[in-house]
Structure 1
């Protein structure tokens, strides 16, 4: 394909506008969502439920194949076992974000049960260069280098955005029917993530040990304060629930079925920190030896 890609701008909550765009397509990747983990999103239900139904339901009605939905590892958190797979039970989330994602997930699965060619992909924490704006894991990296890492229970799955892009591109194969792909990436405890940051920067991040209970309490206080004044810290009660309960995922079936390999987590973290510094989200001095490769 050559030349500019045609754009159709619409509010995902507007069914008629979404349909007008879908009518021009052969397949669709649904990536629109409100992320309410590190902030209080404006319209979780409108985007994550109504918007999702507008895209997936109408795409199925129009016969698009495949219909790829980017879900979230969050629909399985808190997890029911030591490893998350595509067959793990869905969670019972305690927060509005989790409930909105779970409602959308159940709708996507109902379409699959009806035989619609819906592919669901479950990424964990996405990182890497050039996001539209820093999201949960990217904000966590910034806070970790600036203010220190809370060493607590749980951990994080790190997925490079470029690896996720390859997975999504390889999902765009018609005629394969309903499928589900886990993509938790590299699972790191919080101490291991701090160690990787030290490895790529050549420095030493601050660390402080904190229990789940204390971290949950601190996050609840921060949530209350953020409702009356601006505090630039990604810690929220919802984020803490993800932090302290996350376990590793079983990605092997996804990587084998799609012929994908994950790049080293050190490359992902290094490129993420360079981008944060390049865009002014993180002081260059915080990224140590990576600063030499940041464009002036």
Structure 2
């Protein structure tokens, strides 16, 4: 199947390209920077030439030109703003989604795969998040942009269009082009310590997510929604896994959720004045302290996908962070011997 992939120079998109090629698909990559895209793809093992379609996701006509060459699309392009680093949120997350999803269904592509986020359900209203959980009403620009794109994708589904929405939790693994979200949290946790507080995190290996996306490419099945919550860990459990794979003892500090919220608000204010290298924001804290388990068994069964052990994901993530110089070799303990720089 000929598949247009947006965001191919990003974390999820680059791994998705590798998974598509492994499954025998023919990806066409909608990208802005060919050199950067080739460099990122080489990191995930894609060294063969892959066709490129140079376009900005906000350019309606250019996006349509790419879609017209394909049978299906995986829309992975997005700005990530939960830890306070983002660009044109409305342009990429909202206008981009409309350009890709809306035009894809007009042109008859099937399926049209949209990567959303478990964050559209946070804070959760129950002890488990499912694809039928109520959507949130976010207070920040990033959250509003994701919800707007979500509502648009769901409107297409309500019209019977073959739109598949995938909801991954926190994604980790090797080769993240721009350090963000959980990967930046792992770096900060090992360097500066883990806040042991309420809530937790669903750890999804980027390679498992990529396989899920590739398995979504079956036409004729209509609108579908897939949750991918991964392995749910409390913050203490995540610190324990880091200890297990490194042989080190991570620093921990217990903090009540209200105190953490207050500290994050202070850090947000300080970041307006100077750069602070710590991924603590008020929005990130809300995700941290309210997250619950997500029910993804129907997804794994429907697509025939199994999740790799969380220890493998954390090991590969920490090794890569050290390899790229984001972590000192002393912080990764016994993994240091397998790090190449």
- TM-score in same-fold range (> 0.5): yes
Residue 215 of structure 1, aligned match among 241, 260, 274: 260
* Distance in structure 1 (CA, Å) of the matches to 2:89 and 2:286: 18
2:245 is aligned, of 176, 200, 207, to 200
TM-score normalised per structure 1: 0.98
Q: Which SS does the other structure have where 1:74 is aligned?
A: helix
How many angstroms apart in 2 are the aligned matches of 1:25 and 1:146?
A: 45
**Structure 2 runs not aligned, ≥5 long:** 1-23, 27-47
Structure 2: distance between partners of 1:9 and 1:234: 32
Give the equivalent residue in structure 2 for 1:60: 105
Name 2:230's counterpart in structure 1: 185
Structure 1 unaligned blocks of 5 or more? none
The 5-angstrom pairing of residues 211-250 of structure 1 reads 211-250=256-295
Deviation at 1:9, TM superposition (A): 1.6
After superposition, residues 8-23 of structure 1 pair within 5 angstroms as 8-23=53-68
Give CA deviations for 1:253-272 in whole Å, capped at 9, x if unaligned: 00000000000000000000
Which secondary structure state, in structure 2, belongs to the residue aligned with residue 8 of structure 1? strand
Q: CA deviation at 1:4?
A: 2.2
TM-score (norm 2): 0.85
The 2-side partners of 1:157 and 1:108 are apart by: 24
Match of residue 268 from structure 1: 313
Separation in 1, partners of 2:166, 2:91: 21
Q: Equivalent residue for 1:101?
A: 146
Q: How does 1:1-296 map to 2 (within 5 A)?
A: 4-296=49-341
How many residue pairs get aligned? The number is 296
Shift of 1:23: 1.0
**Structure 1 vs Structure 2 CA RMSD:** 1.0
Q: Which has the higher contact order (CA 8 A, sep 6+)?
A: 1
Matched residues in 1 for 2:141 and 2:258: separation?
Answer: 21
